[in-house]
Amino acid sequence: MRMYDLILKKRNGGELSTEEINYFVESYTKGEIPDYQVSALLMAIYFQKMNKRETSDLTMAMVHSGDMLDLSEIQGVKVDKHSTGGVGDTTTLVLTPMVAALGIPVAKMSGRGLGHTGGTIDKLEAFKGFSVEMPTEKFINNVNTIKIAVGGQTGDLAPADKKLYALRDVTATVDNVSLIASSIMSKKIASGADAIVLDVKVGDGAFMKNTESAKELATEMVSIGKHIGRNTMAVISDMDQPLGLAIGNALEVEEAINTLKGNGPEDLLKLSLVLGSRMVMLAGKASTAEEAEAMLKETITSGAAIEKLKEFVKAQGGDIDCIDNTNLLPKAKYVVPVIAENNGVVKKIHAENLGIVAMELGAGRATKESKIDLAVGIVLNKKRGDKVEKGDTIAYIHSNNESLIEKANEGILKNYEIVEGYKNDIPLIHEVIS
Ligand code: URA
Ligand code: CA
């Protein structure tokens, strides 16, 4: 087989066979095909697109390019949840203890944050001593006994995706539905999920800027899942403003703890219930979303979910005193209000830019090597649709460095759009696809 022929075929609108897809993924992973040929193929795919069969084949070829996590020793249906990436997205910390409290195994592989988006592992490290490093046996044992464990990406999962994603990043071929869908699904499948709940974000803080493209991506991923026998559901949710109020690691942990105690922001709770209820359904523990949501809410009122969080954090070496007393979490030296300069209603809070402001305060990484400050970030005081008067506090800056405050203040003011007479009509949940 020659790479040249694959490029030509796809360039002319042809369909790549299973063998051809396996050939290019395998050979590229081994370093046998140069970047320039793969770049040309990616660009041809970008313009000519792939059909569902090609997309499934590409997904499975990437799954088989490296290790697959064997979680067969975990009893029950292992349901994973994945978000396409947002700002202030604290749902994993909220929904996993709730789902585990219902006896459903949560075996979660998480990542660290990069750029304007946060990562669950960084957030969990706000619990002093918490670690995701553990042998696979311990990971499996924790899931079997307490029903929840969060690990880092170990081993060599989907190495083809790592190489292809890096190449797409520099060749303007990231935003193609088949390429994004296969990239995300290959990692979920390689990490051993039996069923998958996807949170596809839409809005200016997300990859997908409009509902049509988000729906296309969600439908494609659900179809890949079905095609290869992993039950998959997708929720299309709003990322046109940050989720909840907190953006930043310890701040989001505090927000999650409050939510599990029944005092969290409404949108964070709602999205956690919608995603969590789909996990419960895929695990076969409820037949309707209403039933599943009621079961999850009960874990909050009964205290089972917050107890589960304690059990989980303790099992991975973290300090749990801060769950009863959140003042023990890492705290920033300066907490400074951001004051509104005019009257009106909040029309927009630019999520991606606020993520960047939080990153510059130290809550995120500009590059993979950057060190993060767990204590810092932003806490919103006004959200879309809220009325604001000149002099009101719209947000708080949490910083450990006095010299960064002025720029953060400017950045937040610039990214809050406050206008007269706006009425919020953007829903939190756009659609559920199953
Ligand atoms: N996230 C991924 O993992 N892959 C993509 O291609 C896009 C977002
Ligand atoms: Ca949040």
Q: Which residues line ligand 1 (CB under 6 A)?
A: 165, 174, 179-180, 183-184, 207
Residue 38 sits in a domain of what CATH number? 1.20.970.10
**Catalytic site residue 187?**
yes
Ligand nearest to the CA of residue 354, numbered in listed order: 2
Please check whether residues 319 and 388 belong to one and the same domain: no
Q: Please report whether residue 68 resides in a domain.
A: no
Ligand nearest to the CA of residue 59, numbered in listed order: 1
| Secondary structure (3-state) at 160 | helix
Please check whether residues 188 and 277 belong to one and the same domain: yes
Cβ–Cβ < 8 Å for 94, 271: no
Please check whether residues 318 and 240 belong to one and the same domain: yes
- Residue among 187, 308, 384, 430 flagged as catalytic: 187
**Catalytic site residue 183?**
yes
Distance 371 CA to ligand 2 centre (A): 21
Please check whether residues 162 and 195 belong to one and the same domain: yes
Ligand nearest to the CA of residue 258, numbered in listed order: 2
The domain boundary, picked from 273, 308, 324, lies at 324
pLDDT in tens, 75-101: 899 999 999 888 999 999 999 999 999
How many other CB atoms are found less than 10 A from the CB of residue 292? 24
pLDDT of residue 116: 78
Is the dihedral angle over the CA atoms 247, 251, 253, 257 positive or is it negative? negative
Please check whether residues 8 and 137 belong to one and the same domain: no
Instruction: Supply 118's token pair.
Output: 């946060």
Instruction: Supply 49's token pair.
Output: 């697109």
Please check whether residues 176 and 281 belong to one and the same domain: yes
pTM of the prediction? 0.93
Ligand nearest to the CA of residue 265, numbered in listed order: 2
Q: What does the pLDDT profile of the chain (434 residues) look like in tens digits?
A: 999 999 999 999 999 999 999 999 999 999 999 999 999 999 999 999 999 999 999 999 999 999 998 889 998 999 999 998 889 999 999 999 999 999 999 999 888 887 778 889 999 999 999 999 999 899 999 999 999 999 987 678 899 999 999 999 899 998 899 999 999 999 999 988 899 999 999 998 788 889 999 999 999 999 999 988 999 999 999 999 999 999 999 999 999 999 999 999 999 999 999 999 999 999 999 999 999 999 999 999 999 999 999 999 999 999 999 999 999 999 999 999 999 999 999 999 999 999 999 999 999 988 878 889 999 999 999 999 999 999 999 999 999 999 999 999 999 999 999 999 999 889 999 999 98
**Residues ≥6 apart with Cβ < 8 Å to 20:** 1, 6, 9
Q: Which domain holds residue 26?
A: 3-48
Which of 42, 174, 186 maximizes ligand 1 atoms within 8 Å of its Cβ, making it the mutation to test the pocket? 174
**Catalytic site residue 82?**
yes
Please check whether residues 181 and 303 belong to one and the same domain: yes
Please check whether residues 24 and 92 belong to one and the same domain: no
Domain total of the chain: 3
- Residue among 161, 238, 267, 373 flagged as catalytic: 161
Closest residue CA from atom 5 of ligand 1: 180
Cβ–Cβ < 8 Å for 148, 312: yes
- Residue among 82, 123, 188, 384 flagged as catalytic: 82
Distance 356 CA to ligand 2 centre (A): 15
Please check whether residues 246 and 345 belong to one and the same domain: no
332: amino acid identity, one letter: A
Please check whether residues 151 and 241 belong to one and the same domain: yes
Residue 391 sits in a domain of what CATH number? 3.90.1170.30
Beta pairing partners, 114: 117
Closest residue CA from atom 7 of ligand 1: 180
- Residue among 10, 108, 163, 168 flagged as catalytic: 168
Q: Please report whether residue 349 resides in a domain.
A: yes
Is the dihedral angle over the CA atoms 53, 63, 432, 384 positive or is it negative? negative
- Residue among 65, 178, 183, 237 flagged as catalytic: 183
Please check whether residues 297 and 201 belong to one and the same domain: yes
Distance 155 CA to ligand 2 centre (A): 30
**Catalytic site residue 27?**
no
Q: Which residue intervals of 117-210 are DSSP H helices?
A: 120-124, 136-146, 159-170, 177-190
Which of 83, 116, 207, 216 maximizes ligand 1 atoms within 8 Å of its Cβ, making it the mutation to test the pocket? 207
Distance 155 CA to ligand 1 centre (A): 19
Beta pairing partners, 108: 150
Closest residue CA from atom 2 of ligand 1: 184
Instruction: Supply 409's token pair.
Output: 């203040």
Cβ–Cβ < 8 Å for 58, 50: yes
Which atom number of ligand 1 is nearest to the Cα of residue 174? 6
The domain boundary, picked from 286, 306, 324, lies at 324
Q: Please report whether residue 339 resides in a domain.
A: yes
Q: What is the DSSP string of 361-375?
A: IIIS-SSTT----TT
Please check whether residues 129 and 210 belong to one and the same domain: yes
Q: Please report whether residue 86 resides in a domain.
A: yes
Which atom number of ligand 1 is nearest to the Cα of residue 180? 6
